[in-house]
Structure 1
Amino acid sequence: MEAVQSPVIPIVGELIRRHPGTISLGQGVVYYPPPPEAIARLPEFLADPDNHKYKAVQGIAPLLSTIAAKLHTDNRITLNQHNCIVVTAGANMAFMNAILAITSPGDEIIIQTPYYFNHEMAITMASCHPVLVATDQNYQLRPQAIANAITEKTKAVVTISPNNPTGAVYSKAALQAVNELCRERGIYHISDEAYEYFTYNGVKHVSPAAFPQSHSHTISLYSLSKTYGFASWRIGYMVIPQHLLAAVKKIQDTILICPPVVSQYVALAALQMGMSYTQPHIQAIATVRQLILEALQRLDGLCAIAPADGAFYFWLKVNTSVNPVELVERLIRDHRVAVLPGTTFGMEEGCYLRIAYGALQKETVAEGIERLVQGLQTILS
Structure 2
Amino acid sequence: MAEIQAPIIPVVADWLRQCPAAISLGQGVAFYGPPEEALARAGRFGQNADEHKYGPVQGQPQLLALIRAKLAAENGMDLTGRQVVVTAGANMAFLNALFAITDPADEVILPSPYYFNQEMAVRMVGCEPVLAPTDDDYQLRLDAIRAAITPRTRAVVTISPNNPTGAVYGESALAEVNALCRERGIYHICDEAYENFLYGQARHFSPGSLPDSAGHTISLYSLSKAYGFASWRIGYMVVPDHLYSAVLKAQDTNLICASRIAQEAAIGALQTGSAYCREHLATLAGVRRAVLDELQALRGCCAIPATDGAFYFLLKLNAPLEAMVVAERLVREYGVAVIPGNAFGWEEGCYLRLSYGALQPDTAVEGVRRLVNGLLRLSGEHSP
Could you say which TM-score interval applies, normalised by the shorter chain? over 0.9
Q: Which moved more, 1:33-42 or 1:7-16?
A: 33-42
Q: Secondary structure of the residue that 1:40 maps to in structure 2?
A: helix
Percent sequence identity is: 57
How far apart, CA to CA, are the structure 1 residues paired with 2:43 and 2:208? 36
Paired residues in the alignment total: 380
Q: Deviations over 1:199-236 (max 9, x none)?
A: 11121000000001000000000001100012000000
The 5 Å alignment of 1:80-229 reads 80=80, 82-229=81-228
Question: Is structure 2 residue 241 aligned with structure 1 residue 239?
Answer: no
Cα distance, 1:43 vs structure 2: 4.0
How far apart, CA to CA, are the structure 1 residues paired with 2:74 and 2:240? 19
How far apart, CA to CA, are the structure 2 residues paired with 1:255 and 1:362? 39
Q: Deviations over 1:118-138 (max 9, x none)?
A: 000000000000000100111
Q: Deviations over 1:280-316 (max 9, x none)?
A: 2111111100000000001111100013100000110
Q: Structure 2: which amino acid aligns with 1:205?
A: H
How far apart, CA to CA, are the structure 1 residues paired with 2:107 and 2:274? 37
Cα distance, 1:45 vs structure 2: 2.1
1:27 match:
27
The 5 Å alignment of 1:3-82 reads 3-80=3-80, 82=81
TM-score, normalization by structure 2: 0.98
Cα distance, 1:47 vs structure 2: 1.9
How far apart, CA to CA, are the structure 1 residues paired with 2:169 and 2:43? 42
2:283 match:
284
How far apart, CA to CA, are the structure 2 residues paired with 1:139 and 1:105? 30
TM-score, normalization by structure 1: 0.99
How far apart, CA to CA, are the structure 2 residues paired with 1:114 and 1:257? 33
Q: Structure 2: which amino acid aligns with 1:166?
A: T
How far apart, CA to CA, are the structure 1 residues paired with 2:327 and 2:36? 37
Q: Structure 2: which amino acid aligns with 1:288?
A: V
Q: Secondary structure of the residue that 1:354 maps to in structure 2?
A: strand
How far apart, CA to CA, are the structure 2 residues paired with 1:47 and 1:66? 23
How far apart, CA to CA, are the structure 1 residues paired with 2:199 and 2:277? 15
Q: Deviations over 1:39-94 (max 9, x none)?
A: 011243222110000000000000000000000111001212x1010000000000
Q: Secondary structure of the residue that 1:57 maps to in structure 2?
A: coil
Cα distance, 1:264 vs structure 2: 0.2
Q: Structure 2: which amino acid aligns with 1:230?
A: F
How far apart, CA to CA, are the structure 1 residues paired with 2:43 and 2:136? 51
How far apart, CA to CA, are the structure 2 residues paired with 1:30 and 1:78? 30
Cα distance, 1:343 vs structure 2: 0.3
Q: Structure 1: which amino acid aligns with 2:6?
A: S
How far apart, CA to CA, are the structure 1 residues paired with 2:237 and 2:340? 29
2:42/2:262 contact within 8 Å kept: no
Unaligned regions of 5+ residues in structure 1, if any?
none
2:376 match:
377
1:353 match:
352
1:327 match:
326
Q: Structure 2: which amino acid aligns with 1:267?
A: A
RMSD: 0.7
How far apart, CA to CA, are the structure 1 residues paired with 2:6 and 2:21? 25
Q: Secondary structure of the residue that 1:189 maps to in structure 2?
A: strand
Question: Is structure 2 residue 279 aligned with structure 1 residue 267?
Answer: no
